[in-house]
């Protein structure tokens, strides 16, 4: 019984370690390429050390953990942005309908939008206050947050060509809400697939260890 449990534990440990080993190998290659890039070669060593995350000093495991944490943070930020984007678009449409220009509408929306959308909109207002044109500030926001590209396109069409933006913002809000609904439905459809892992690899092996294996061992010892 102990030997069977030990073998199962060793197998599970090897199975779990394979993805981390592959990810660590890719991270090692990327770090070597970055170390040989022209920017890093001419950069002072002390400044390069300060830019390296603390977890990367732990070797491949630290780089894997750092990469996973960064990806999780970016995914959470994009999820919050997509969830709050329709509200911000509605605020922009209301401001434009009240007679505001696209620039003034962005300033209003930056004050009343949810934090995930208010931050990039407020960045546009700050850039414009420093002398950057409204179109360039919107382009910069779209580069930093790709999910805002449709909104930026609608505002730029009004800024550059004088196209009416109110109807475009209304349609965009409807489309974003439909996209959120489709994402929620797709996420709900993945729940049964995610439940297969604990069912197949945890519940069934536990059932076999508690019911089948003792009977087999009892039969072998009795003979």
Q: Is 101 exposed, middle or buried (0-12, 13-18, 19+ CB in 10 A)?
A: middle
State residue 10's pLDDT score: 65
For the chain, how are helix, strand and coil distributed in percent, rounded to 5?
A: 90, 0, 10
Measure the CA–CA gap between 46 and 43, rounded to whole angstroms. Answer: 9
**Contact predicate 102/123, CB 8 Å:** no
What mean pLDDT do residues 145-171 have?
Answer: 87
- Select the more confidently predicted residue: 36 or 127: 127
Q: Is 141 exposed, middle or buried (0-12, 13-18, 19+ CB in 10 A)?
A: buried
- Select the more confidently predicted residue: 3 or 88: 88
Q: Is the pLDDT of residue 106 over 60?
A: yes
- Cα within 13 Å of Cα(39), Cβ side: 5
Show me where the domains of the chain are located.
76-187
Measure the CA–CA gap between 10 and 222, rounded to whole angstroms. Answer: 29
Q: Is the pLDDT of residue 161 over 50?
A: yes
Q: Is 42 exposed, middle or buried (0-12, 13-18, 19+ CB in 10 A)?
A: exposed
Architecture of domain 76-187: Up-down Bundle (1.20)
- The token duo for 123 is 């960045």
For residue 18, what pLDDT band results from cuts at 50, 70 and 90?
A: low
State residue 36's pLDDT score: 43
């Amino acid at each position: 019984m102990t030997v069977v449990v030990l073998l199962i534990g060793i197998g599970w440990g090897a199975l779990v370690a394979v993805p981390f080993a592959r990810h660590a190998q890719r991270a090692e290659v990327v770090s070597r390429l970055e170390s040989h890039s022209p920017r890093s070669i001419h950069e002072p060593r002390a400044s390069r050390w300060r830019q390296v995350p603390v977890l990367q000093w732990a070797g491949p495991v630290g780089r894997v953990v750092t990469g996973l944490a960064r990806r999780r943070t970016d995914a959470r930020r994009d999820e919050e942005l997509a969830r709050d984007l329709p509200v911000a678009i509605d605020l922009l449409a209301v401001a434009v309908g009240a007679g505001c220009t696209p620039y003034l509408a962005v300033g209003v929306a930056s004050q009343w939008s949810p934090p995930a959308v208010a931050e990039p909109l407020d960045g546009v207002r700050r850039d414009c206050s420093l002398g950057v044109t409204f179109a360039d500030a919107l382009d910069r926001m779209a580069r930093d947050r790709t999910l805002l590209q449709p909104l930026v396109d609608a505002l730029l069409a009004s800024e550059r060509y004088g196209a009416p933006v109110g109807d475009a913002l209304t349609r965009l809000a409807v489309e974003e809400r439909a996209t959120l609904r489709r994402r929620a439905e797709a996420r709900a459809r993945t729940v049964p697939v995610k439940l297969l892992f604990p069912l197949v690899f945890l519940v069934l092996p536990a059932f076999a260890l508690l019911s089948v294996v003792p009977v087999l061992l009892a039969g072998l010892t009795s003979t």
